Every structure is written in structure tokens, then in C-alpha cells.
Structure 1
């Protein structure tokens, strides 16, 4: 969050100095003063404000957790990918680390363990359905990253620009987050996400029950958004959906002009077309200036 706010502030500073600085020295002066002022403001104002927002977010989630853990799972599940976009998910990680160190386990991040796999499921549907080679090329490395818990390539590169796949992923993550909390699936150590989180779910007594339940939810987390996204695309493109209707309206709004239907060529001049070699000017008549006709 401090980085995002700093860049936002820097954009206004840059616009100001770009407008006020003569072109002769603009290349040197604008970057210099933009960075100089931005760095000072980041340390003195932007950073403290951003940290305050992060602390407020931490307190908010703690209050929701104390109120009802399942509600906490719903809220964190649906918001996790949005928090990742802005880097605000780091506000909860210190709480989870402290909770594990103090109590030996933690449920704080349980609801955040499956959103990466909901992105995986959506990407599977996109790769199977898309006809655009560029989308498939971007989706493949994003798919691999999501398996290992890194969802930024999937969010920024594929699902968020398409919007509906991102919404589907967030909706399924909400349900998975509530299920993880309701089944009391905890983390017994902190580490990576994705497939790297499996060992941290093995209880201190060596029980694999919670891990098995997590595998079941993982399957649902991958299958549900994949099937939902495929169903959405089927309805849109194969069942007379919005896209098909829009295309139909576009066709109706652009009828073929009457002149084209009758194959009429309109001319703004009156005269006769003659071969270019009959032009009195020998330069044009010889074809030195290129092929053509005379009117």
C-alpha cells in the first residue's frame, strides 16, 4: 500500500512539474524533482498513512474473527484476491505468524489457502475455451504460478481484465473460506501458499484428517470456478446470450447501402474515360508517372 500511494502522489507531482518546466530542461528537472519530493512525502506522510490503513484493516479482521469465525472466512475468502491486488494481504500475515508462535496453530489465514486454486480452475476453463492464441499464451504460465500460490499473473494478466472470471473466482473463494473455518482446518506452521502449504496442515499428532478435508475442498475450489466459467461462456456464446444479441443488433444497425446492392458507381464529374496514352501530355501518356486513365 505505501508503494501504490507513493506512485499515485508522484503522478500528480510529475504532472505539475511537466506543466511548469520549460521544454529545454524538462528531461532533467521533472524526474529529479518528482523523485525528490515523492521520497520525502513517502517517508513523512504517505508511509504513515498507509501503515495506519494497514493497521485499521488488521483490527477490522480481528473484530470480525472475534464476532464469528465463519463470517470471517466468508469475508476474507471473497476479499483475499482484492487484498492481494493492493498488497494489503500482508496486514494479516504477521497476525498468523504470531498466532502460530503463541498457540501452536492458527486459523487466521485458513480462508486464504484456496483462492489461488480458484484462480487455477478459472484459468483451466479459459485455456480450454479461448480461441485467442495470445490469451492461451498468457494463461499457461499464470496457471503454473497459481498452483504454487502466486496469483498476481493470473489476476492482472487474465482474469481481472475479463472481469467475470475474476468475480467467479472470488465468489467460490468466499464459500471455500467459510468451509475451511467451519471444518476447523488450521495451519500449524507458516510458509508458502499453493501446494507448498500442505505440510503446514498436518496436525501435531500427525493426523491427516484435516489435510484430507483440505484436498477435498481443493478439488471443489478448482472444479467449481472452472465449470462455472465454462457454463457462463456457453450461455453467452452458444445460447443467444449478450454477445450474440449484441452482434445481432450490430448487424441490424448496419444494413448494406442501397447503392452497393444495386452496384451503382456514382461520379461527381461529367465526361468520358479514355486510355492514358491519348493524353496530350507525353510524360503521362508514356506511363512514366505510372498507370492510369484520363477523364
Structure 2
């Protein structure tokens, strides 16, 4: 993020810097990038341990961080950063291929994997792809599908509310629904839908259908924003009506299916 490098990358003036007149360092604008940062910090953790082992204990407080940052920074600029940029572009390209085959098919696929990816913590892997789309295209069609998946999870959890017998359990479900509306779906997933697995199935179906619908009409966002009710104003524009219908489909379908699928006290 050194200003000279960022400005040069934006202007497209040069393709690389020469380190010591020998080693070319590729020039990229890393603003808004995620993958290079993730891999850079991952490499730094190992470099730090290696440096800490060879530096005398008395000098570790000052010397270890200095050497670690020098080595990891150089490694990030020469290897990790450029590799991360190309990996991000590759992921975005694969997503483009998916949408090129069929936006509806892309919606079904994204709707299918999104709820499950949140369960295993892999949903953050989709964010770099969205950021790459914003950087290269100026818009993204993935973030709207993430919002659809969130609403499906909330709808399915809301359907389970009517299947709980005790007031205590109902209050847990209600709090998870409220947090899901605000963009935090983990309580609904781990606290409700992992208990009612048929509710999770309902959420996945709602996510697939809703994502396929907005994919068919090309719903897109022009800036990154979290997937919650607070992101609704960001959709105002030519695609708003289709986005709104998709939200209703995702929430309504998952709610109804969850209500129908889930049996009271069904722990299967």
C-alpha cells in the first residue's frame, strides 16, 4: 500500500519495480484485495517463528519484529502478493464461467453451497471474489445471492419457532432470527437449524430458488456491503424490484417449507 506503488499501479505507468537493479517486483494496486493479505499473514506467522528461534532472547523484543517484517514484506511483494492477485482473478474467472453457462444455474449452485459454507466457516472465501468483481467490473452478482441465503436461513429458523414447545426454546429461536435479520446468521444455523436438520434443508431450498430467481434477472450490487436489512438501500435502482421479489421468495419459501418439514421436538 506504499503510495508510490499504488499510484503507479493506478496510472498503469510501469509493470514492475527493479529491486537493487536486478530483481523485478510486480506492481499491483492491492487496495480492496483480500487473498494477498490472508496468504501474507499466513507466511508471516511462520517467518516470525523461524526468526524468533535464531535471534538471541535478549534481542527478540526489537530485532524479531523488525527482521520478520522485512523478510515477510519483501516476500509478500515479490511472491505472495502477485500470486494472490492472480488467484483472486482466477476465482472470479471461474465464477464468470459459471454465470456464463447460466445465471440461473449459477444461482442454484451458489444457493446450494452458501448455507453449508457458513456452517464450516468457508463463506468468507466468497468475499474476495466479490471484491475482485467490484474492482474489475464495477459490480457484483454474488453479494445479492449471499443476502438471499441469509434470508433463507432466517426464514427457516422463523418456521422452527412455531415448532418449539417451551418458551425458553422459542426465545432462543427468536433471538437468532433477529440477529440473522441484522446479518449474523450463525446463531440461527448452529442454535436452530443444526438441531432441526429438515429446517436446514428448507433453508437450502429457499436459498437455491431465491438465488436462481435473482440470477435470472441479473440482480447486482455496485459496492460492497454486508448482507442484512441495512443493505436494502444499496439495491435501489433498476434491479430493485427483482431483488425484492427474490427476498420474499427466499424468506417465504424457506419459512413455509420449514414449518411443513419440521415436526415438534423432531431431533432428526
TM more than 0.5: yes
TM-score (norm. length: structure 1): 0.55
Determine which of 75, 98, 102 is the counterpart of 2:136. Answer: 102
Q: Which runs of 4+ in 1 moved over 3 A?
A: 54-63
Unpaired runs of 5+ in structure 1? Answer: 3-47, 238-242, 244-295
SS at match of 2:142: coil
Highest Rg: 1 or 2?
Answer: 1
The C-alpha deviation readout for 1:86-120, integer Å capped at 9, x for no partner, is: 22222221121121233221113332221111122
Counterpart CA distance in 2 for 1:220 and 1:193 is 16
| Structure with more relative contact order (C-alpha pairs < 8 Å, separation 6 or more) | 2
SS at match of 2:115: helix
Which deviates further from its counterpart, 159-168 or 119-128? 119-128
What residue is the counterpart of 2:113 in the other structure?
79
Unpaired runs of 5+ in structure 2? Answer: 1-37, 39-79
What residue is the counterpart of 2:171 in the other structure?
137
Counterpart CA distance in 2 for 1:97 and 1:199 is 19
Query: Do 1:76 and 1:174's aligned partners in 2 also have CA atoms closer than 8 Å?
Result: yes
Query: Do 1:142 and 1:154's aligned partners in 2 also have CA atoms closer than 8 Å?
Result: yes
What residue is the counterpart of 2:209 in the other structure?
175
SS at match of 2:218: coil
What residue is the counterpart of 1:286 in the other structure?
none
Counterpart CA distance in 1 for 2:109 and 2:91 is 12
TM-score (norm. length: structure 2): 0.60
Counterpart CA distance in 1 for 2:130 and 2:241 is 22
Counterpart CA distance in 2 for 1:92 and 1:62 is 13
Query: Do 1:74 and 1:175's aligned partners in 2 also have CA atoms closer than 8 Å?
Result: yes
Counterpart CA distance in 1 for 2:162 and 2:91 is 38
Which deviates further from its counterpart, 55-64 or 108-117? 55-64
What residue is the counterpart of 1:287 in the other structure?
none
The C-alpha deviation readout for 1:239-267, integer Å capped at 9, x for no partner, is: xxxx7xxxxxxxxxxxxxxxxxxxxxxxx
What residue is the counterpart of 2:252 in the other structure?
223
Q: 1:82 to 1:225 in 2, by over 3 A?
A: same
Matches within 5 A, 1:8-157: 61-157=95-191
What residue is the counterpart of 2:223 in the other structure?
189
